[in-house]
Structure 1
Amino acid sequence: MNLSFFGSRTITIYMARTFLVRSLAVLAALVLVLMALDLLGESGDILAHPGNGDAQLWTYVSLRTPQIVARFLPFAVLLGTLITLATLNQNSEIIAMKAASVSAHQILAPLIIASIGVAAISFAFNDRIVTRASATLAAWQAADYGPIPADRGVVVNVWVRDGDDLVHADAVTGRGSATVLRGVTVYDRTGGLLKSIVTAVAAHQQGRGWVLDRASRFDVASGLVRPAPGYRIAQGVTPDRFTLADVQPDQRSFLDLRAAIAELHAAGRPTGPLESGLWHKISGPLSAILMPLLAGVAAFGLARSGRLFLRAVIGMALGFTYFVADNFALAMGNLGAYPPWLAAWAPFLLFLLIGEAVLVRTEE
Structure 2
Amino acid sequence: MKTIRRLIYREVLSAVVFVAAGFLALFFFFDFVDELPNVGKAGGFATYRLTQALLYITLLMPNHLYELLPIAVLIGTIFVMARLAQSSEYTILRTSGLGPGRALRTLMVLGLAFAALTFAVGDYLSPAADKAAQLLRARYQGRISIGQTGAWLKERQAQTTYNVNVAALAPDGSMQGVRLFEADDRGRMVSTTTAPRAVFGVDGWVLEDAEVTSFLTSGPAPQVEHRTVAELQWPTRITPEMVSVALLKPDRMSTVALFEYIQHLEENGQTSQRYEIEFWRKVFYPLSCLVMVVMALPFAYLHFRAGGITSYVFVGVLIGISFFLLNNVFGYIGNLRSWWPWLTAAAPGLLYSLLSLGAFTWLVLRR
Do these two structures clear the TM 0.5 threshold for a shared fold by scoring above it?
Answer: yes
Indicate the larger mover: 171-180 or 63-72.
171-180
SS at match of 1:269: coil
In 1, Cα distance between equivalents of 2:330 and 2:101: 29
Map Cα deviations across residues 288-322 of structure 1 (whole Å, 9 max, x no partner).
11111112232112223886555444433332221
- Deviation at residue 328 of structure 1 after TM alignment: 1.0
SS at match of 2:47: coil
In 2, Cα distance between equivalents of 1:268 and 1:28: 45
Aligned partner of 1:71 in structure 2 is 67
Aligned partner of 1:332 in structure 2 is 333
Residue of 236, 245, 248 corresponding to 1:247: 245
- Deviation at residue 89 of structure 1 after TM alignment: 1.0
SS at match of 1:173: strand
Change (3 A) 1:132 1:246: closer
In 2, Cα distance between equivalents of 1:139 and 1:66: 16
1:42 aligns with 2:35: yes
Aligned partner of 1:88 in structure 2 is 84
In 2, Cα distance between equivalents of 1:361 and 1:143: 57
Q: Give the residue type in structure 2 aligned to 1:12.
A: R
Change (3 A) 1:173 1:310: same
SS at match of 1:105: helix
Aligned partner of 1:293 in structure 2 is 294
Map Cα deviations across residues 171-190 of structure 1 (whole Å, 9 max, x no partner).
65337973234xxxxxxxxx
Aligned partner of 2:100 in structure 1 is 104
SS at match of 2:141: coil
What is the root-mean-square deviation of aligned Cα atoms in Å? 3.7
1:209-358 equivalences under 5 Å are 229-230=227-228, 240=238, 244=242, 247=245, 249-304=250-305, 308-309=309-310, 311-335=312-336, 337-358=338-359
Residue of 48, 58, 61 corresponding to 2:57: 61
- Deviation at residue 274 of structure 1 after TM alignment: 0.8
Residue of 9, 13, 19 corresponding to 2:6: 13
Residue of 179, 191, 199 corresponding to 2:205: 179
- Deviation at residue 63 of structure 1 after TM alignment: 1.4
Q: What is the count of residue pairs matched by the alignment?
A: 313
Change (3 A) 1:42 1:156: farther
**Are the counterparts in 1 of residues 39 and 50 from structure 2 also a CA contact under 8 Å?**
no
Aligned partner of 1:131 in structure 2 is 127
In 2, Cα distance between equivalents of 1:257 and 1:156: 23
Q: Which runs of 5+ in 1 are unaligned?
A: 1-7, 182-201, 210-227, 232-237
Q: Give the residue type in structure 2 aligned to 1:315.
A: G
Change (3 A) 1:51 1:311: closer
**Are the counterparts in 2 of residues 175 and 243 from structure 1 also a CA contact under 8 Å?**
no
- Deviation at residue 270 of structure 1 after TM alignment: 0.9
- Deviation at residue 151 of structure 1 after TM alignment: 7.9
- Deviation at residue 126 of structure 1 after TM alignment: 1.4
In 2, Cα distance between equivalents of 1:309 and 1:363: 23
- Deviation at residue 40 of structure 1 after TM alignment: 1.2
Aligned partner of 2:147 in structure 1 is none
Q: Give the residue type in structure 2 aligned to 1:32.
A: A
Q: Give the residue type in structure 1 aligned to 2:332.
A: A
Change (3 A) 1:305 1:147: closer
Q: Which runs of 5+ in 2 are unaligned?
A: 145-168, 183-188, 216-225, 230-235
**Are the counterparts in 1 of residues 83 and 309 from structure 2 also a CA contact under 8 Å?**
no
- Deviation at residue 256 of structure 1 after TM alignment: 2.1
1:52 aligns with 2:52: no
The share of aligned pairs that are identical, in percent, is 25
SS at match of 2:98: coil
Aligned partner of 2:22 in structure 1 is 29
Give me the TM-score of the superposition, normalised by structure 1. 0.73
**Are the counterparts in 1 of residues 265 and 272 from structure 2 also a CA contact under 8 Å?**
yes
In 2, Cα distance between equivalents of 1:358 and 1:340: 28
- Deviation at residue 230 of structure 1 after TM alignment: 3.6
Aligned partner of 1:223 in structure 2 is none
Give me the TM-score of the superposition, normalised by structure 2. 0.72
Change (3 A) 1:303 1:123: same
SS at match of 1:180: strand
